[in-house]
Amino acid sequence: MTISGKHVIVTGGGSGVGAETAREFADAGAKVTIMGRGQKQLQAQGLSWQVCDVTDPGSVSSAFDAARAEHGDIAVVVANAGAALSVPFEKMSPDDLDKMLGVNLTGVFNVWQAALPDMKAAGWGRMIAIASTAGLKGYSYVSGYCAAKHGVVGLTRALSLELASSGITVNAICPGFIETPMLDRSIANISEKTGMTSEQAANSLWRNNPQKRFVQTDEVAGTAMWLCSDAARSVNGHALSISGGEI
């Protein structure tokens, strides 16, 4: 692996995919900084951390500067922070849409832009977004989330071309439903609104996965690790579906 000794930043690193990805990078010898809005969750991971709101460019800049002071220039950014809001389109407010775009799309833009100077100076870098199959297809009742994740895929494809000759690759990982605390909240929300049991609500989410299961966090983390390996040095501008064949 080329990752040993390199500084890796993982946003949304306090739980779920972010925490698993950070651990795998740390186990591979990387210097890892996790970021998120919840200090207690970050501290619980046992890694270097910075409180950061990815929707706020000032917060991102301050957190990245503090991370550099501790671990040096940034070589890899995994833009994982995200949130999903389930609401029928006709009931969705402009503020609902702004919130989905803010954390899921603008947040990726902010952290990638903050890391870019270090990567360009080094002539090597990996920009990775944890997007979603919602960036590749539509899902009912999460139109704002789908719009944001489609935006992430578009940003990935465009930026990958700008940076193609720089030694920096830009890719998006697009998982299906992942077994995380965010999924638990989605299942609880479905149960509350429909009267389904938790098991029925869970089944309604994974039934489109041909493998008939939820994606696990280690599968997403392992894909991020592979994108940083020498074997993936020509993988650029891709939206990798991790979905059991759903898409």
- The catalytically annotated residue of 145, 177, 206, 214 is 145
pLDDT band at 2 (very low <50, low <70, confident <90, very high): confident
Element (H, E) at 193: helix 181-194
pLDDT, mean of residues 131-137: 97
SS (H, E, C) 172-185: EEEECCECCHHHHH
pLDDT tens digits for 156-181? 999 999 999 999 999 999 999 898 77
Determine the 3-state secondary structure of 107 from DSSP. Answer: helix
DSSP state of 215: B
Assign 1 a pLDDT band (cuts: 50, 70, 90).
low
Residue 139 bears catalytic tag = no
pLDDT tens digits, one per residue of 190-240: 778 778 888 887 877 788 899 999 999 999 999 999 999 999 999 999 999
CA pair distance 20, 41, nearest whole angstrom:
13
What whole-number distance in Å separates Cα of residue 81 and Cα of residue 55? 10
User: 169 — phi, psi (to 5°)?
Assistant: -110, 150
**Section 120-142 average pLDDT:** 96
Starting at the earlier edge strand, list the strands of the sheet with 239-242: 48-51, 31-36, 7-11, 74-79, 125-130, 168-175, 239-242
Mean pLDDT across 48-71: 98
Chain mean pLDDT for the chain:
94
Q: Where are the domains of the chain?
A: 7-178+215-242
Tell me the residue length of the chain: 247
pLDDT band with cut points at 50, 70 and 90 for residue 188: confident
State the pTM of this model: 0.94
Per CATH, the homologous superfamily of domain 7-178+215-242 is: NAD(P)-binding Rossmann-like Domain (3.40.50.720)
Tokens of 71: 């671990």
Confidence grade of residue 141 (pLDDT, cut at 50, 70, 90): confident
How are the residues of the chain apportioned to helix, strand and coil, as percentages rounded to the nearest 5?
Answer: 50, 15, 35
Secondary element (H or E) of residue 58: helix 57-71
